[in-house]
Structure 1
Amino acid sequence: MIISNTDVMTLDEIETFVCIAEVGGFTEASRRLHRSQPAVSRRIHELEQSLDAVLFERAGRRVTLTEAGRALLPYAEAALAAVRDGERAVRDRTVGALTFRLAIVGTLADSHIVDALRAFTARFDEVTVDLRTATSREVSALVRSGEADLGLRYHPDTDPKLESIPLGDEKLYVIVPPAHRITAAELPDLLPLRDEKWLGFPAERGKQGSFRNLLERHLAAAGLQHPQITTVDSLTAQKRLVEAGLGVALMPVSSVREELRIGSLRMIDVPSMNARIPVVAVRRIAGHQSQAATAFLQVLADHTPDLVEKG
């Protein structure tokens, strides 16, 4: 049981701790929680005092979990999720009080998934949709803590507490600046791009299906044994660098739809590469399955043929 006591963790403290662990900083957590930064710091100080342990290592504005913090995190997420599950279970039985919380990778919000959302809201006009955009890792964290009923992300999550439901996949294209020396819209293979500087996301330890791993595997398969890959951890930064002629990248169309429309970027198809990235829905296996989330999954299944490009 979570009660308010100076020697026991409070729900506010748990929520603040999980949020900081998720976003990696006190400033961003204060924005997410709509609380002042001193209030956020005070809750963590009180939590650390009650546990007699330091939970975060601070380095400027960024923080990382200590060993004690890593030990606490799964239990804190479970406690927070249980409380939120209880709230939703009650609201699911209250007429006119249905809210569906969906976390989605930002680029997918500009894909055919929007069609599924439109169909869902038209069919269930009594349901309020609370939409959050995040990275794939953050989407899973929001679902794990119960802050989202359902998440839409790239690649299945290996967390045994989460179920990953395949939706299809998105094809990846070589993205180049409009004035790139190769003017063809299609290439037989990647060899004409052997001397290019590539832009890629950071490597993720143990993540064989990550964007970086996918890029490295396809470059190696094309015979590019020692490609130049510059690590850029922001999708927006990658696009701006490609626009400036400082590299090329592999991306799904949903990531660059607007840039392709206005002509600031151009895509080259390499059919022989057949690079694709899976899109999945994630939900907690033992969590409360809200009526709204179940209904949306059905609408999503109905739209799967048009949701993403299929092989």
Structure 2
Amino acid sequence: MTFDEVETFVCIAEVGGFTEASRRLHRSQPAVSRRIHELERSLGAALFEREGRRVALTDAGRALLPYAEAALAAVRDGERAVRDRAPQARSLRLAIVGTLADSHIVDALREFTAQSDDVSVDLRTATSREVSALVRNGEADLGLRYNTDADPKLESIPLGDEKLYVVVPANHRVTAGQLHDLSVLRDDKWLGFPAERGRGSSFRGLLEQQLTAAGLPNPSITTVDSLTAQKRLIEAGLGVALMPVNNIREELRIGSLRVIDVPSVDARVPVVAVRRVGGYRSQTANDFLALLAAHTPGLR
């Protein structure tokens, strides 16, 4: 079992397919397939089964995954520990949910890089689940995501909550700046992110809760998995949504979107930093985390 084989196995498990794994790893698809074939041959067990264009872990694959992730993380920790002892070699590997890229977190990152011009920052955007995976297998020193991760291998550090607001196009038929509840919007098409199993505090779960509480038990919700796409659809008058106000600062500035205040709606999504329990903790990552805590006192 080689490092390359383990790395390839974990990547495929994370992204759900050989094609995407080959892109992530910058290797040809035949090379990726060959590594998995050799790994399966050495273990005497199939690790993946095909489901259309995607693949799923077999029982053997699920048994191997946590150990493979731990092995990768340990090797990468060792590499980091050595590199951090070299002069002028400080770096920060940060994984962040894309929708947090317009928040106070980026202000903290800007100040950090301004104060630490000898630090290189490797920034990757991903979903909350992917952020945790990147931290778990050692590809990221810190992850910034929504909701606490229940994985005991990860430590979740609360940073605050992102409050969600009702966002409508500038020319929406409701001109009031404040509404008593959401019932006035019962005929609107709502835009929401994909549902997350068991996550009532996800964006989709919170939207469904708020609409049900407003007496709209079967609302029309169109699933749109891109924040940018949601904003463009709202601007075009094709829906309304619940969003953090930080994600629409530019649209509010130019007047293409509006926020309607609904005091009865108190939808908040927890934001946390995640790091691996027992993993190597560089001084650079500790310094950024301290600055981040000062920048995000409860978020908003």
- Shared topology, TM-score over 0.5? yes
Tell me, yes or no, if structure 1 residue 208 matches structure 2 residue 211: no
| 1:308 counterpart residue number | 299
Tell me, yes or no, if structure 1 residue 174 matches structure 2 residue 166: yes
Which structure 1 segments of 5+ residues have no match?
A: 1-8
Contact 2:143 2:274 in 1 (8 A): yes
Render the CA deviation track for 1:164-204: whole Å, top value 9, x for unaligned. 11111111112223332112232221111122222222322
Residues 68 and 235 (structure 1), Cα distance of their counterparts in 2 relative to 1, 3 Å cut? farther
Moved over 6 A (4+): none
| 1:223 counterpart residue number | 215
Q: 1:30 aligns with which of 22, 26, 32?
A: 22
| 2:266 counterpart residue number | 274
| 1:105 counterpart residue number | 97
Give the CA deviation at 1:137. 0.9
| 1:5 counterpart residue number | none
Q: 1:149 aligns with which of 141, 146, 149?
A: 141
Render the CA deviation track for 1:254-289: whole Å, top value 9, x for unaligned. 333344444443332212212111111110111111
Contact 2:97 2:128 in 1 (8 A): yes
Over the matched positions of the two proteins, sequence identity in percent amounts to 79
Deviates more, 1:216-225 or 1:80-89: 216-225
| 1:265 counterpart residue number | 257
Give the CA deviation at 1:244. 3.8
Tell me, yes or no, if structure 1 residue 132 matches structure 2 residue 124: yes
| 2:8 counterpart residue number | 16
Tell me the distance in 2 between the aligned counterparts of 1:100 and 1:153: 17
Contact 2:73 2:137 in 1 (8 A): yes
Tell me the distance in 1 between the aligned counterparts of 2:237 and 2:18: 36
Tell me, yes or no, if structure 1 residue 186 matches structure 2 residue 178: yes
Tell me the distance in 2 between the aligned counterparts of 1:14 and 1:264: 48
Q: 1:80 aligns with which of 50, 72, 86?
A: 72
Amino acid corresponding to residue 235 of structure 2 in structure 1: E
Q: Structure 2-normalised TM-score? A: 0.92
Q: 1:91 aligns with which of 37, 60, 83?
A: 83
Give the CA deviation at 1:159. 0.9
Tell me, yes or no, if structure 1 residue 164 matches structure 2 residue 164: no
| 2:32 counterpart residue number | 40
Residues 56 and 170 (structure 1), Cα distance of their counterparts in 2 relative to 1, 3 Å cut? same
Residues 263 and 126 (structure 1), Cα distance of their counterparts in 2 relative to 1, 3 Å cut? same
Residues 245 and 55 (structure 1), Cα distance of their counterparts in 2 relative to 1, 3 Å cut? farther
Count, aligned residues? 300
